[in-house]
Amino acid sequence: MGSHARCGFVPRLIAAACFSAATVVAVAQVAQVAPSAASADDLLRNGIAAQQQGDLRSAIDDYRKALQLQPGLAEARANLGAALAAVGDFDGAIQEDTRALANAPDKNAVRMNLALAYYKKADWAHARDEFATVHAARPSDAAALMLLAYCSVKTGNAREALALLAPLERGNEDNPDFAFVHAYALLESGNAAEALPKMEKSAQTTNSIDAWVIAGQARLHRREFHEARADLEAAAKIAPDFPGLQTMLGQARDALGDSDAAMPAFEAALKQNPRDPMANLYLGTMRLKQRDLEGARPLLELALQLAPNMPQAQLQMAKLNSMTGKLPEAATALEALEKADPNWIDPHIELAAIYYKLHRPDDGQRERDIVQKLEANTQKQGPLQ
């Protein structure tokens, strides 16, 4: 179920763990700086004070000046890495943390920051490797273990994540961070039935955008549209601009027949990302149903340009061409669709009408016969579960 991992979701536990370890090391170790490097010592102290006050730019400047005077000052380099990560310069943080490891008094603290920098960069494989090293050195560190498990899920090792988390299950029933990571691992290992209630409980406990979106996306994928809409509506109350959220919310609303509510969601999605293929497709389809052909065409054309192999975009474009008199173009597209998927009924329905318009009654009747056969098969199979 890798489709649920499209975003760099950040568990709530990161807020407490983020880039703090190296600063603690620096406070403990700064008194050990040699007297001959007093100016570097002063700059290091100034940097720590600025960092603790949230003035990260000044801290970065002080740490860099200290390192110019004393390149081997591990505390300054570790804290520089933490500060760079905190301002979003993850590549710079990774470089500094890697260099700091050579001389750091507490290598695990620096390695934790290095792992977090990789994590925030969404470099899951490297983050997993570093968290694994921290976990091996500090097996009782629950935060490092949960982050390791999360990165295992992100790298396609959900079952490994479940094995890592198993020793923590007893005693962490009410831990929202554990619940989030455990539910995510269950979901990605294919156990949605157990995972989704856990994920939604975690979302209710923490009001976490991450948990609501993961649950809503999974429900949407499973065609559980009422539940998907509820989860995604909850997410939208927290962060309506969360990437991809409005498109998923629009899909859930549309699937429930609420086009009046779906349309503004897709419009909001396109304001955020005009090149969202699904939002273009859905909004174009809605305008096509309203017979707003001029409004539908640019949306469907862009959807097809962005995702040329998306069958629904090809179908809707063929419908538009049929409605605007471009019958041969529409027929060609629909014939390709029915060849690719002979059991998809929609292209047959459209082709039947087009063949009659093109004065090809035999072909039109053939398509009608196919439609009747497919409908009969569908009735025998019963409703989708």
User: What domains are defined for the chain?
Assistant: 276-385 (1.25.40.10)
Instruction: Tell me the C-alpha distance between 123 and 266, whole Å.
Output: 30
Q: Give CA torsion, residues 142, 145, 149, 150, to 10 deg.
A: 70
Instruction: Tell me the C-alpha distance between 169 and 188, whole Å.
Output: 18
Residues contacting residue 129 through CB under 8 Å, at least 6 positions apart: none
- Predicted local distance difference test score (pLDDT) of residue 11: 53
Instruction: Tell me the C-alpha distance between 301 and 360, whole Å.
Output: 28
Whole-model pTM: value is 0.80
Q: Which of 324, 373, 327, 377 is nearest to 350 (CA)?
A: 327
**Does residue 7 contact residue 208 with C-beta atoms inside 8 Å?**
no
Instruction: Tell me the C-alpha distance between 305 and 287, whole Å.
Output: 18
Instruction: Tell me the C-alpha distance between 96 and 110, whole Å.
Output: 10
Q: Which of 133, 137, 22 is nearest to 74 (CA)?
A: 22
String of DSSP letters for 227-263: HHHHHHHHHHHH-TTSTTHHHHHHHHHHHTT-HHHHH
The conformation of residue 88, written as its DSSP 8-state character, comes to T
pLDDT digits (tens), the chain, 385 positions: 333 333 444 555 554 455 443 443 443 444 344 444 448 999 999 999 999 999 999 999 999 999 999 998 989 999 999 999 999 999 999 999 999 998 888 889 999 999 999 999 999 999 999 999 999 999 999 999 999 999 999 999 999 999 999 999 888 888 888 999 999 999 999 999 999 999 999 999 999 999 999 999 999 999 999 999 999 999 999 999 999 999 999 999 999 999 999 999 999 999 999 999 999 999 999 999 999 999 999 999 999 999 999 999 999 999 999 999 999 999 999 999 999 999 999 999 999 999 999 999 999 999 999 999 999 988 887 655 4
For 297, 300, 346, 363, the CA distances from 315, given in Å and listed in that order, are 13, 10, 8, 19
Instruction: Tell me the C-alpha distance between 262 and 254, whole Å.
Output: 5
